[in-house]
Amino acid sequence: MIKAGAHMGELLLELTGVTKTFPGVRALDDVRFTLKTGEVHALMGENGAGKSTFIKIITGVHKPDAGEMKIDGRTVRFNEPREAADAGIAAIYQHVTCYPDLSVTENIFVGHEIIDPRTKKLNWKRMRELSGQYLTQLGADVDPKAIMGTLSVARQQIVEIAKALSINARIIIMDEPTAALTRRESEELYRITLQLRDEGKGIIFISHRFEDMYRVAGRVTVLRDSRYIGTWNVDEISQDKLIYSMVGRELTQLYPSKRNGIGKEVFRCEGLSKTGYFADVGFSVNEGEIVALSGLVGAGRSEVCQAICGYWPFNAGRLYYQGKPVRPRSPREAVALGIGYLPEDRQKQGLILDWSILRNITLSTLKQHSRAGVPLPVKERETAHRLSNLLNVKRSSLQDLVSSLSGGNQQKVIVAKLLAGQLKFMMLDEPTKGVDVGAKHAIYEIMRDLTAQGIGILMVSSEMPEALGMSDRIIVMREGRVARVFDAVGATQEEILRASMTARTEVIA
């Protein structure tokens, strides 16, 4: 399957027959992988496919049970992460692992500080110079003296990359680096990644976003169920084929097609404003309709949803639910009306992780499942069983802890919790964030099912293909205001991007 790629280089890293077993689970089974100098090699696969374990073997966190790893043709065996770092391997993670209270320079040089040979003291001056040098080399405007915690996630990642340069890393692993970045920041990261590639580094790029892969990678390797599936040149494989190889079954279409008409208005807001967050936001959602709320991270989309569901108070504006003016003062009142909100951070805002699936599902509807304040287990199990079957939550039993589920299945549990109530309007805040492509498809199917039942959906989405593929209309927010509204049919990614990024024109009230 491997064909000569456009980016020919010397073989830098080679793994063959890598196998790793944890008690009860085979995490990697005969996996192979190659990386050349001056190459970006994407590693893709569903959550749980074995990508993380594979990376941990390269970085020396885990030792493989079998298999061989060669750098520059020489066999290496790491006993600890330190040895991998010494061999020129660095990893940058989605959730940056830094010391937030230390300066940029200190973060870059932690673990390999420069010591003045005469005085035996730390040579801060030199370290600051070098830090500045690395950061300039990356084209990043970051002050070496700044405190790490005050920087944005994107900047922190750049510092981590500078750290990789400081140890002369030749193999740089980026683990879902764009997951927490805005569009503009992602662009910056692409630029840096390509620059590093052109300097001859080998880069392993892990991402769930196809766009990342198409933008930076030359080759892509897919893992599925702990096994090696194949390696292709990016420009020679279609997205459908790639999805098929990751999921192992044909997803005829990532975005299932619409199968219902649009009914009367279910929700409308007018002139919604909250000082410092958003101003004069107005839109409506009809029964059976999906409206996407698009825009850059920080444009105020989540805040609007949270204000509508009563979590935040707002200064001005009117809400109408099924034509009647409403003003929920808490998510509880919103749910009682029929307005539900699926928060963006499912682990912090949506779930009680070490509770069972069953208890999470009935959490917000205890009243329905009880008599005189005492829960009725039979009724609870009935609902949980029905909804987790409906949404196809993978489980061995309803008593499984939610923390043991994959991201996509956790998301399904939260959706199930929302469905346990009688909702007519649902706000889904980044419903597919961080879930793999199979689970994404499942969530889209669920959304279609919901609209077929006449539920109106407002979907906050940062992924433009998702907004285009799923919604009927797209509302683009920019700096707290509605910038433009598109009909999904006929709209293009470029138009949406332009609307969400046009230069600052107004100041938020």
Partner 1 sequence: MPMNAIDPRGVGSPLVKGARSLLSRYSWEIMLLIILALTNALNFSISPYYKWGKLLDATNLFLDKGFLAMSMTLVILTGYIDISVASTVALSSVVMAVSYNAGAGVPMPLAMVICLLTGAACGAFNGLILVKFSELAPMIVTLATQIVYRGIALIILEDKAAGKFPSWYPNLGWGYAGVFPVMMAAFFILFIVFAFLLHKTNYGRTVYAVGKNKLACRFSGINVDRIIFTNFTLNGLMAAVTALFLTSRMGSTRPNVANAYEMDVIAMVVLGGVSTAGGKGRMGGVLISIFIVGLLRYGLGLININTQVLMMVVGGLLVLAVAIPEMRFGSLIRTRKPTVPASVKA
Helix (H, G, I), strand (E, B) or coil at 4: coil
Closest approach of Cβ 372 to partner 1, in Å? 9
Q: Which stretch binds partner 1 (CB under 8 A): 109-117, 126-134, 259-267, 368-376?
A: 368-376
Among 16, 233, 322, 406, contact with partner 1 (rule: CB under 8 A): 406
CB of 308 to partner 1, least distance (A): 13
Which of 78, 341, 444, 486 is in the footprint of partner 1 by CB under 8 A? Answer: 341
Question: For the residues of 428-470, what is the DSSP string, one character each?
Answer: EESTTTT--HHHHHHHHHHHHHHHHTT-EEEEE-S-HHHHHHH
Identify the residue among 8, 10, 22, 452 touching partner 1 (CB under 8 A).
22
Q: Which residues contact 195 (CB under 8 A, 6 or more apart)?
A: 138, 139
Minimum separation from the CB atom of position 74 to partner 1 (A): 30
Choosing from 5, 38, 45, 48, the residue that interacts with partner 1 (CB under 8 A) is 48
Question: Quick one: 109 or 314, whose CB is closer to partner 1?
Answer: 314
Cβ atoms 428, 458 nearer than 8 A: yes
Please identify, using beta-carbon distances, which residue of 8 and 25 lies nearer to partner 1: 25
Q: At what angle do helices 183-198 and 153-166 cross, to 10 degrees?
A: 10
Map the footprint of partner 1 across residues 211-240, applying CB under 8 A. Answer: 225-226
Minimum Å distance from CB 344 to partner 1? 10
Q: Which two tokens stand for residue 305?
A: 């949803």
Residue with tokens 């630029």: 191
To the nearest whole angstrom, how small is the minimum distance from the Cβ of residue 24 to partner 1?
A: 4
Position among 6, 25, 66, 452 found at the interface with partner 1 (CB under 8 A): 25
**Which residue's CB is nearer to partner 1, number 158 or number 414?**
414
End-to-end CA distance of the chain: 58
Query: Residue 395 or 473: which CB sits closer to partner 1?
Result: 395
Q: Which is nearer to partner 1, 404 or 493 (CB)?
A: 404
Q: Which of residues 142-181 bind partner 1 (CB under 8 A)?
A: none
81 binds partner 1 (CB under 8 A): no
CA distance 162 to 155: 10
Closest CA to 114 of 130, 127, 99: 127
Q: Which is nearer to partner 1, 112 or 394 (CB)?
A: 394
Q: For helices 153-166 and 124-137, what crossing angle results, to 10°?
A: 110
Classify residue 150 by its DSSP letter.
Answer: G
Residue type, 437: V
Instruction: Report the residue number, 203 or 334, with the smaller CB distance to partner 1.
Output: 334
Of the residues 96, 135, 281, 335, which one makes contact with partner 1 according to CB under 8 A: 335
Phi, then psi, of 423 in degrees rounded to 5: -105, 145
**Residues 412-471 contacting partner 1, CB under 8 A:** 417, 421, 434
Our finding on whether 359 is near partner 1 (CB under 8 A) is yes
Pick from 311, 314, 425, 486 the residue near partner 1 by CB under 8 A.
311
Applying CB under 8 A, which of residues 280, 370, 390, 465 lies at the interface with partner 1?
370
356 binds partner 1 (CB under 8 A): no
Q: Report CA-CA distances (Å) from 447 to 262, 301, 363, 413, 452.
A: 14, 19, 21, 14, 9
Q: Of the two residues 359 and 386, which places its CB atom closer to partner 1 in the complex?
A: 359
Query: Which member of 2, 8, 366, 452 binds partner 1 (CB under 8 A)?
Result: 366
Q: How far is the CB of 422 from partner 1 (least distance, A)?
A: 12
23 contacts partner 1 (rule: CB under 8 A): yes
- Which residue number, 387 or 496, has a Cβ lying nearer to partner 1? 387
Out of 375, 454, 465, 469, the only residue in the binding site for partner 1 (CB under 8 A) is 375
Nearer of residues 215 and 224 to partner 1, judged by Cβ:
224
Site track 291-310 with partner 1 (rule: CB under 8 A), x = hit: ------------------x-
Query: Residue 472 and residue 491: Cα distance in Å, rounded?
Result: 11
Contact residue for partner 1 among 26, 32, 191, 379 (CB under 8 A)? 26
Contact with partner 1 (CB under 8 A): which of 1, 374, 378, 489? 374
User: Number of C-alpha atoms within 13 angstroms, CB side, residue 504?
Assistant: 4
Q: Are strands 339-342 and 265-274 parallel, antiparallel or unpaired?
A: unpaired
Q: Is 272 helix (H, G, I), strand (E, B) or coil?
A: strand
Of 2 and 352, nearer to partner 1 (C-beta) is: 352
Give the CB-side neighbour count of residue 194, counting CA atoms within 13 A: 12
Quickly list DSSP for 177-238. TTTT--HHHHHHHHHHHHHHHHTT-EEEEE-S-HHHHHHH-SEEEEEETTEEEEEEEGGGS-
Q: State the DSSP H helix or E strand holding residue 29, giving kind and residue range, or none if neither.
A: strand 25-36
- Show Cβ contacts of residue 220 under 8 Å, excluding neighbours closer than 6 positions: 41, 42, 43, 44, 213, 231, 232, 234, 237, 242
Which residue do the tokens 């459908």 mark?
240
Tokens at residue 82, please?
């330190």
Which residues contact partner 1 by CB under 8 A?
22-27, 47-48, 50, 53, 225-226, 309, 311, 330-336, 341, 343, 348-355, 359, 363-364, 366-367, 370, 373-375, 394, 403-407, 410, 417, 421, 434
